[in-house]
Structure 1
Amino acid sequence: MKPLKLFGMVFFCGLLSSTQGVLSGLSCAISPRGMQQVLSSAIIQSGLFQKELQGMTLPNFRGDGGLLNSRTIITGLHLERSWLPTLSVALVPGAGMQLLINVHLDLSGNCLVGLLSEIILISLEVTITSSIKCPNFESGAVHVIVDDCFCIVGTVKIKLLSGLLPLSVHDVVLGHLTATLPGLLCPVIDIVFNMVNIQLLSTVDVVIPIGQKGTVHYHLAGQPFISGSSLIMDLDGTVQQRGGGIIPHDSYSSALPPLLDGLILIALRQGFLSILVAVMLQLQPHTFPCSPEAFSGANQMRDAIIALFPTGCTSCPAASPLSIRVECEGNPHLVLEPNKATIKLPALLQVFVNRPDGSITSLLFLKAALSLNVRLSIARGSLVLGLSLGSVSLILKASEIGISDISSLKPHFINLLVEAYLPPLNAAAENGIPLPQVFGFPLERANFQILKGVLLIRL
């Protein structure tokens, strides 16, 4: 059978070594049960295999024997009906994948035995076995060979409308089907695999927007391989800011934990996720009036700040309205620890007043380190982050009016951050981190497991 040179078809590749050491933000392992579910859905449940069978017509044939040693001639033999097939998958380490399709076919045609012409009805079971191999991988192109396709004809029932079926006719038909069916069914397998390849490859080579902030291009990072219990792929994610360049990450593939009894395991690495978080949480500086409309406790914060004014300070604008500016300083950084995900967010806080002459007096200039607790969920194919404030550290950098101790102000700043700053952060995160829908697996019901430096998604 002619090899199929396709750009992709990664799910049929069986290799001798893993792709560890390849730049990879995401890795996935799919169990044989998962592959069987994927391929059964794409080939059988979709009706694709049955549709391709509809055009199958067997050639006319004749055989010796029959009544009074006359010839048996069968013409117009065609498929009347194919019953719902079944499909099973076996992963062969270092070799590839073996697919087995069992299908019940009903055929009919015209049968001439001697001078008697009748309708012949044939019902049979056929098992089609194909070995799918991937001998090499070059520059992103996966070369696929559909090898060793053969058919085994099982139970065959043959009848004529008259009910008189010579034994010789049965033998002639069985021999003819055994000889001709592989040449008819194996090309159908080739066509179906080619179509399914295009469909499934699109799920592992896809560009997805990160809200309005940029895009991530998921694509195969290296040669897939088959272990004893799963098909494993490494995907890299090329992250690009809107109107900017590509942001590199330093995540490399590594060994995956056991798949256990699940269908698919996806591992997202900390360095790659941090880049996506940094793009997703791009915020312009926010300025809030120190007023109850902006956050509760604003009046108490104002009173606490005024109480810190140095005695006799003539330049202290006690009567002027206060404003507070919050600005990210550098990129947020995601930290994955066992059973815990946090985002470290450096920020600058400035408390200032606008004077009547248009000048600004900076009462306080603070450096803040925010630790945000992350609650994970999946919605609309994206990893959604729910953020809450875990802890805050504040360091006074400068004060134009001589304030030197801010310890009494920390509760007020926490109140400001929770009520005024976290809502826009959560709004920026509400679209989530886009994930590839690998082979069409719906991840909304998946479970999370957080290890050191790795987020695992299990289905």
Structure 2
Amino acid sequence: MLRILCLALCGLLTPARADPGALLRLGMDIMNREVQNAMDESHILEKMAAEAGKKRPGMKPIKGITDLKVKDVKLPVITLSFMPGVGIFQCVSTGMTITGKSFMGGNMEIIVVLNITATNRLLQDEETGLPMFKSEGCEVILVSVKTNLPSNMLPKVVNKFLDSTLHKVLPGLMCPAIDAVLVYVNKKWANLNAPMPVGQMGTVKYVLTSIPTTTANYIQVDFNPVVQQQRGDTIQLADAGEALEFPKDSAAGSSQLLLSAAFLTAELALLQKSFDMNIQDTTIGELPPQTTETLAGFIPEVAEAYPKPKPLVTRIRINKPPKVTMRTGKSLLHLHGTLQMFAARQRGRAPVSLFLLEIHFNVKIQYSVREDRNALVLDLKLD
């Protein structure tokens, strides 16, 4: 699951003023992928089939059939749908062949196609406080049944035998598969409360604020991140002053992540020192390395002081915490600090300061998702 999507599960967005942080809608695209991955990773149907023929304590033998085995389990087709206020309804369609010795003494094969249905209720674990799915009301519905029992047998006898056999075998065989898949899905939330490092500058921890809630189209997610510096101090999120709202033109069934400017501001504050830089003998774009001759055309005093070109050293220091602002279709990162230009001298001698400017960088932010992570691309503009 997207790592960012593993942040939290909680209540519905209300029209009231929203707490700063982030909101998430888990659409059916994510849920389908995660349940299918859990089914594939667990190989649970194959494992259940392998266990079918083993004798287990307290298990009564099935009358009329011995040496029971299950084989040829078909690749399952999983269908999910949201149940408002409850969780997710799950249907697993599959097929298999049941073999054994029949009551007539010969080898018997029963080829079945079936649906396993269950309600996966979305709850909050009392011990950990994490979200969890729990299955309820598992049923096995037969779609078709074929057998190699002789056709001259009385239909009622065959049907009664098949009905008795399948209803004893299938629920105990198939329903545990639903629970096993949910174990894999629930593991996705295991590290939800663990602090996530932001480089070596600090951590972000995502705190659940309410129990999970499901709508007809998505699971609404709400969480408050705690941004903490490496030394342990918490960076308080500013009050955004307005509710977070999802765009109305999003694709049906898609998942959406909404990050507040307050949250991004607090997280980027951890990286404030990372924006400091010294530039010397560096090519910027198509420009060659800059020298005092470059400045001479703008500042005559530089030409007088340095008739021979000297390399330039540029020192940028950000002296205020970064701030993110957002408007429809536009996000900016504001960096306030100083830009100081030096003329480099021979080795061992300190560079000579030429001038010092107060600066305000407007850095355009573009967002994308790469390998299940939210990525920020910065486009620098200097005011």
1:300 aligns with 2:288: no
- Aligned counterpart for 1:257 among listed residues 247, 258, 263: 247
Identity over the aligned pairs, expressed in percent?
21
Distance 1:389 1:156 in 2: 67
TM-score w.r.t. length of structure 2: 0.76
Cα distance, 1:366 vs. partner? 2.6
Give the conservation status (yes or no) of the 8 Å contact 1:291–1:298.
Answer: no
Aligned to 1:55, what secondary structure does the other structure show?
Answer: helix
Q: Deviations over 1:352-390 (max 9, x none)?
A: 67999x999866443211212334444454444443332
Aligned to 1:282, what secondary structure does the other structure show?
Answer: helix
Q: Which moved more, 1:131-140 or 1:101-110?
A: 131-140
- Aligned counterpart for 1:345 among listed residues 331, 335, 341: 335
Q: Deviations over 1:220-266 (max 9, x none)?
A: 44322111211122244333334553333247874433443253111
Give the conservation status (yes or no) of the 8 Å contact 2:10–2:208.
Answer: no
Note the aligned Cα RMSD (angstroms).
4.0
For structure 2, the 5+ residue unaligned runs are 1-5, 54-58
Aligned to 1:54, what secondary structure does the other structure show?
Answer: helix
Aligned to 1:60: 61
Provide closer, same or farther for how the CA distance between residues 302 and 124 of structure 1 changes in structure 2, counting only shifts above 3 A.
same
Give the conservation status (yes or no) of the 8 Å contact 2:118–2:137.
Answer: yes
Distance 1:143 1:387 in 2: 37
Cα distance, 1:330 vs. partner? 0.9
- Aligned counterpart for 1:25 among listed residues 15, 21, 24: 21
Higher alpha-carbon Rg: 1
Distance 2:339 2:331 in 1: 25
Q: Deviations over 1:82-113 (max 9, x none)?
A: 11121111111112221111221210011133
Distance 1:249 1:281 in 2: 16
Cα distance, 1:173 vs. partner? 2.2
Q: Deviations over 1:277-312 (max 9, x none)?
A: 233352375455699998436313146434499xxx
Aligned to 1:131: 119
Distance 1:285 1:14 in 2: 38
One-letter code aligned to 1:234? D
1:101 aligns with 2:92: yes
Give the conservation status (yes or no) of the 8 Å contact 1:327–1:348.
Answer: yes
Aligned to 1:74: 65
Distance 1:154 1:223 in 2: 37
Cα distance, 1:183 vs. partner? 3.2
Aligned to 2:75, what secondary structure does the other structure show?
Answer: coil
Give the conservation status (yes or no) of the 8 Å contact 2:130–2:189.
Answer: no
Give the conservation status (yes or no) of the 8 Å contact 1:159–1:165.
Answer: no
Provide closer, same or farther for how the CA distance between residues 24 and 89 of structure 1 changes in structure 2, counting only shifts above 3 A.
farther
- Aligned counterpart for 1:268 among listed residues 246, 259, 282: 259
Q: Deviations over 1:122-162 (max 9, x none)?
A: 111222111122455657244654221122223211214x7
Give the conservation status (yes or no) of the 8 Å contact 1:285–1:326.
Answer: yes
Aligned to 2:3: none
Provide closer, same or farther for how the CA distance between residues 101 and 251 of structure 1 changes in structure 2, counting only shifts above 3 A.
farther
Aligned to 2:184: 195
For structure 1, the 5+ residue unaligned runs are 1-9, 63-72, 310-315, 393-459
Provide closer, same or farther for how the CA distance between residues 324 and 111 of structure 1 changes in structure 2, counting only shifts above 3 A.
closer
Distance 2:290 2:299 in 1: 16
Distance 1:136 1:235 in 2: 14
Provide closer, same or farther for how the CA distance between residues 347 and 302 of structure 1 changes in structure 2, counting only shifts above 3 A.
farther
Provide closer, same or farther for how the CA distance between residues 299 and 384 of structure 1 changes in structure 2, counting only shifts above 3 A.
farther
Aligned to 2:37: 41
One-letter code aligned to 1:176? T
Provide closer, same or farther for how the CA distance between residues 219 and 52 of structure 1 changes in structure 2, counting only shifts above 3 A.
farther
Give the conservation status (yes or no) of the 8 Å contact 1:152–1:178.
Answer: no
1:185 aligns with 2:174: yes
Distance 1:332 1:37 in 2: 37
Provide closer, same or farther for how the CA distance between residues 175 and 154 of structure 1 changes in structure 2, counting only shifts above 3 A.
farther
1:279 aligns with 2:270: yes
Q: Which moved more, 1:221-230 or 1:206-215?
A: 206-215
Aligned to 2:56: none
1:246 aligns with 2:240: no
Give the conservation status (yes or no) of the 8 Å contact 1:25–1:251.
Answer: no
Distance 1:296 1:360 in 2: 15
Distance 2:239 2:301 in 1: 50
1:90 aligns with 2:84: no
Provide closer, same or farther for how the CA distance between residues 353 and 37 of structure 1 changes in structure 2, counting only shifts above 3 A.
closer
Q: Deviations over 1:171-223 (max 9, x none)?
A: 2222232244223322332223223321x224755654433433333454432
Aligned to 1:118: 106
Distance 1:330 1:181 in 2: 66
